[in-house]
């Protein structure tokens, strides 16, 4: 299996797409006053959160590995 690495170019394209979706939803909501445009806004914010969690990790406090259950 090929190891996957981090690509800043792909990250910036992804963030630009999220900005486009979120701002498009805000613009649609302002122009139409229809609550259906809340969906792209909420989806964009949710994916911004997932992106933040994937990129910004707390490396000071790494999680402990799961306890091994050795029965004998």
CA distance 58 to 44: 23
Copy the structure tokens of residue 46: 């949710």
3-state DSSP helix/strand/coil percent for the chain, to nearest 5? 65, 0, 35
Domain boundaries, the chain: 13-53
Tokens 């979120």 found at? 22
Whether the pTM exceeds 0.75: the reply is no
Give residue-wise pLDDT tens across range 37-64.
899 999 989 988 888 887 776 556 666 6
CA distance 66 to 57: 19
């Amino acid at each position: 299996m090929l190891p996957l690495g981090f690509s800043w170019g792909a990250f910036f394209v992804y963030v630009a797409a999220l900005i486009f979706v979120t701002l498009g939803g805000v613009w649609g909501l302002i122009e139409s006053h229809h609550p259906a445009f809340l969906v792209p806004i909420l989806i964009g914010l949710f994916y911004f959160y997932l992106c933040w969690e994937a990129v910004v990790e707390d490396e000071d406090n790494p999680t402990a590995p799961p306890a091994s259950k050795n029965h004998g």
